[in-house]
């Protein structure tokens, strides 16, 4: 799938940014990645509320081979084929995917830091890290 096709396909949703990712694209809106385009298929971000919609359409989560096994990524699901011909419905599914991605990003940001992260100085800025080790006060 090329960039022009994807821009046209998501036009009903609104402007999207396409960023090269692996062998395809990451699709984002307002700086939030909500879709992947890989191996000739589009995968939307999903959550507990939207996974049943994908399942009802007979869709599958994103999968890839790694080290002799198949890895399943249940946070991204392939869109139903019918959405390629229904831009209004694709726009609605994309809005749900963006909401799921925003929720996941918020949950990730709200997670407490582990003691391992704190021990590495996880809260220090890049400038502070370049300046050297922390000084005891």
Domain region containing 70: 3-130
Q: What is the pLDDT of residues 53-98, one digit of tens each?
A: 999 999 999 999 999 999 999 999 999 999 999 999 999 999 999 9
Q: Is 135 part of a structural domain of the chain?
A: no
Q: What is the pLDDT of residues 114-134, one digit of tens each?
A: 555 444 454 445 454 455 555
β-sheet bridge partners, residue 76: 45
Q: Is 60 part of a structural domain of the chain?
A: yes
Q: State the DSSP code for 31.
A: T
Q: What is the dihedral of CA 42, 97, 7, 39, to 10 degrees?
A: -10
Domain count, the chain: 1
Q: Is 137 part of a structural domain of the chain?
A: no
3-state secondary structure 30-81: CCEEEEEEECCEEEEECCCCCHHHHHHCCCCEEEEEECCEEEEEEEEEECCH
| CA atoms of 28 and 95, how far apart (whole Å) | 11
- Domain of 24: which CATH number? 3.30.1460.30
Q: Residue 12 has what pLDDT?
A: 94
Q: Is 62 part of a structural domain of the chain?
A: yes
Q: What is the pLDDT of residues 103-117, one digit of tens each?
A: 998 877 665 665 554
């Amino acid at each position: 799938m090329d960039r022009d096709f994807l821009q046209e396909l998501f036009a009903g949703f609104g402007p999207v940014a396409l960023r090269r990712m692996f062998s395809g694209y990451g699709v984002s809106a307002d700086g939030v990645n909500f879709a992947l385009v890989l191996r000739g298929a589009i995968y939307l971000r999903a959550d507990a509320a939207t996974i049943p919609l994908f399942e009802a359409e007979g869709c599958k989560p994103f999968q890839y081979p790694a080290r002799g096994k198949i890895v399943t990524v249940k946070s991204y699901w392939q869109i139903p084929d019918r959405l390629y011909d229904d831009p209004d419905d694709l726009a609605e599914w994309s809005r749900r995917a963006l909401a799921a991605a925003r929720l996941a990003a918020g949950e990730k940001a709200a997670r407490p830091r582990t003691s391992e992260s704190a021990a590495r100085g996880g809260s220090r800025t890049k400038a502070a890290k370049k300046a050297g080790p922390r000084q005891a006060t």
